Amino acid sequence: MPVIFSSHQLDLVERLCDRVGSIREGHMVASDTIPNLRQQDQQVIDIRLLNALPGWTQHLPAAITTPHGGHHA
């Protein structure tokens, strides 16, 4: 039976839940088992710039997602 449980205490969540989800600004951003989420080990940095020049992300060594849905590798 699905139950919504909210906590920042990961040790408690691990004892009570088989799968977890992470919600940011009202949107589900991750959902899986805790071991699988830990394996992903991705670092996300949110950078917001005003008047950034087009293509400023071209030489960054990461996947970039723009607010308008564009994606660069």
Q: Please state the domain count of the chain.
A: 1
Range of the domain at 37: 10-72
For residues 11-35, average pLDDT: 86
pLDDT, tens digit (0-9, with 9 covering 90-100), for 56-73: 877 777 666 666 555 544
Judge contact between 21 and 13, C-beta under 8 A: no
Question: Does residue 66 lie within any of the structural domains?
Answer: yes
Structure tokens at 23: 């919600």
Question: Does residue 3 lie within any of the structural domains?
Answer: no
Rounded to whole angstroms, how far apart are CA atoms 9 and 56? 38
Question: Does residue 1 lie within any of the structural domains?
Answer: no
pTM of the model: 0.45
Distances in Å between the Cα of 15 and the Cα atoms of 8, 43, 50, 67 are: 13, 25, 44, 36
pLDDT value of position 56: 80
Question: Does residue 20 lie within any of the structural domains?
Answer: yes
Question: Does residue 32 lie within any of the structural domains?
Answer: yes
Question: Does residue 5 lie within any of the structural domains?
Answer: no
Question: Does residue 60 lie within any of the structural domains?
Answer: yes
Question: Does residue 67 lie within any of the structural domains?
Answer: yes
